[in-house]
A and B are shown apart, each in its own frame.
Chain A
């Protein structure tokens, strides 16, 4: 065997080094794969959802003829409300047809198809406007009304001339007319505030659907969760961490909490349905029941992080308090708890963020219902947070179940809204941790 230089790598070492390099590469590619998955997920949601924050409007110069809207001429809303949205739809149609003719645009479309470019929601909007202010009758109202979903989709690239040719609800001619109107500034795309404030809309009008009720419902539930889960969670943690004797009972509680943290969320939904709705007879789909279910789900998270925060306060603090005559309870409430507060708050915010995104249990307690009324926080009939409502993640699920492709954009837009809320909450949690974290 010939002796080799130490500097020259022999075959076996080269092989081992190659294996080392390969192994390292596997690790790196795993991380890259995870990051790519995150990037694709985000791009997919953003690309299909950002357009929900834009909406196409038609600016109408709308004459409001007295003979159609208020024959009696007394301007009494009770009498005027006899004219239904169908009556207003005709006026809107006539208004747009007139406007198209006045602009000198030629079209093969029938009057009905021209009127079809306006959303069905618009007639209700105009009717509410007129009933609220009867003096408008007889004047010409300049108003921005929603364009029909497919016209809106055309300006966002979802609907094309080819797909319109196959679609019974629109036609290439309508799209061409829309394009001409857009050039003249009659059709405009604006930021869609209504998406964040308006209630849900029915199956045929995705252009009018908004998140108002869902955001309000989620807000109510978060209030319930915060008010219940924070005190109960902190009290339970204080007992387990500071007072509990080491015995069977505390062991059972501890094992229980770690298991509750891993129970599938849908099981909490079954619990909510059986206990809060069927047994306790709280209102179905109410934020109160949703909040209670989410409270039970969030409690383990809050307890685990609160206990960690309490544990990180050094024993010398407790000893010092006891040494000057404080009772055990006083040492905890006056000294340990304030020092642990930033950690507790961080854990609570993260628990709330989790609860905000939770969907499955809310489906079971009836929050999938179609709700168009803004729920009141308190009514004598329904009690506190007792009115039917929906929630942000459930609204997303709801929209994915609808046939019109316009709702995919709405669902993705709702996801973006949800993610923005989560981002804000997590940013606050990180800020609190950075700002107040203490190393002993």
Chain B
């Protein structure tokens, strides 16, 4: 095992020594006449601190990862000594350079810039982590389970004693059906709300209605899930599904779709609002000048001009809907089925990821590993939608700038 606390403490002590010693050395090198120094004493101190901590901590992280990857049992103390040696070397190097002509500020800022670059690379590391974590386990899954069965089989019935049918089609169908219903609610309402707010509403109305609608965006999805479970589901069952003979399940495609639609309204409306506002005023004025009414201008000038952006917004909303988890976990049910009846319980990709990865999991069984294949499929679909949508939105924005 690799000790962590002791090396970190020693590095901290070394850094403190640098902070105290480097300025003294610099001042001593000019016999106390600070004016002759190229950098302020403080900068020498900062440089020494960073020269100790950055390489030291980097070496420590490297050692931790190396130990984890190759499962070393012994040699922890040796590695810790190595880490401390790296930090000490950094300190000595910085101290040796703390003299009259050394530009400590430039050197210290190089270290800071290195830290900034590292921080911004974490975004890349996250993506790499996401892809790697799923690709690795997915390939494990496909070595145990035929990939054609996964992508093209219409049966989903996992069985932990083996012999499972793990076809993604019923899950994809449920996902797309629910997303479609959600968009069928959210797009008209969101779009009309955006049109009204940007073209008709006065300042007062706008300043009240816009934040109120945006409250919907700030509510966590678990709240929507509970709303679907205790209010919308029973309501739809008692007043629509049962009287009309569509079934008697409270969790259904309709329940999840309706609630998800409510969740997406602010998303669609605020994106469309931005896009409609980006249409130049001159186009409106031209239309009014020809005698068009406001609604004619909106329908025949503004919407066509904003259409690519609105399509982009709808695609982003679709990717949200496809990746949404809690609403479908609580509102859609767990039965994998291919059916057209919107009042029947169906299930989605995200629901199955949750159900296969919670509880007792065995990371050698295809029934658990399938969740990673589902996750990767979900990731690829949403990523594709996002990239496409952002491309459309960006291209459109350039048109009027």
Q: Which residues of B from 198 to 231 have beta carbons under 8 Å from A?
A: 199-200, 209, 212-213, 215-216, 218-227, 229-231
Given known pairs A259-B387, A264-B325, A412-B226, the reply for A393 and B220 (CB within 8 Å) is: yes
- Residue A256 interfacial (CB < 8 Å): yes
Q: Which stretch, A63-71, A146-154, A415-423, touches the partner chain B?
A: A415-423
- Residue A101 interfacial (CB < 8 Å): no
Q: Is the pair A265, B200 in contact by a Cβ cutoff of 8 Å?
A: no
Q: Is the pair B197, A264 in contact by a Cβ cutoff of 8 Å?
A: no
Q: Is the pair A359, B353 in contact by a Cβ cutoff of 8 Å?
A: no
| Nearest-Cβ distance from residue A394 to partner chain B, whole angstroms | 8
Work out how many contacts link A and B, with CB atoms closer than 8 A: 256
Q: Is the pair B116, A236 in contact by a Cβ cutoff of 8 Å?
A: yes
Q: Is the pair A34, B227 in contact by a Cβ cutoff of 8 Å?
A: no
Q: Is the pair B124, A253 in contact by a Cβ cutoff of 8 Å?
A: yes
- Residue A27 interfacial (CB < 8 Å): yes
Q: Is the pair A34, B350 in contact by a Cβ cutoff of 8 Å?
A: no
Q: Which DSSP category, helix, strand, loop or mixed, fits chain B's interface?
A: helix
Using Cβ atoms and an 8 Å threshold, which residues of chain B touch A232? 119, 122
Q: Which residues of B from 221 to 277 have beta carbons under 8 Å from A?
A: 221-227, 229-231, 262, 265-266, 269
For chain B, which range describes its interface: under 10, 10 to 19, 20 to 34, or 35 or more residues?
35 or more
- Residue A175 interfacial (CB < 8 Å): no
For chain A, which range describes its interface: under 10, 10 to 19, 20 to 34, or 35 or more residues?
35 or more
Using Cβ atoms and an 8 Å threshold, which residues of chain B touch A418? 220, 222-223
- Write the chain B residue with the least CB distance to A412: B226
Rounded to whole angstroms, the CA-CA distance of A3 and B127 in the bound complex is 72
Given known pairs A30-B188, A271-B129, A363-B354, the reply for A426 and B218 (CB within 8 Å) is: yes
Using Cβ atoms and an 8 Å threshold, which residues of chain B touch A327? 105-106, 109
Chain A 256-280, CB-CB to B under 8 Å as 1, else 0, gives 1111101111111111011100111
Using Cβ atoms and an 8 Å threshold, which residues of chain A touch B222? 357, 359, 393, 396-397, 415, 418
Using Cβ atoms and an 8 Å threshold, which residues of chain A touch B387? 259
Using Cβ atoms and an 8 Å threshold, which residues of chain A touch B294? 20, 23-24
**Interface residues, chain B, with chain A CB atoms under 8 Å away:** 68, 105-106, 109, 112-113, 115-124, 126-127, 129-130, 133-134, 136-137, 188-193, 195-197, 199-200, 209, 212-213, 215-216, 218-227, 229-231, 262, 265-266, 269, 293-296, 298-299, 316, 319-320, 322-326, 329-330, 350, 353-354, 357-358, 363, 371-372, 375, 378-379, 382-383, 386-387, 390
Give 6 nearest A-B pairs by CB, closest first: A264-B323, A357-B220, A27-B196, A274-B133, A30-B192, A235-B119
Given contacts A253-B120, A264-B350, A275-B133, 10 further A-B contacts (CB under 8 A): A35-B213, A41-B219, A45-B223, A45-B227, A253-B121, A258-B390, A259-B383, A266-B350, A327-B109, A364-B353
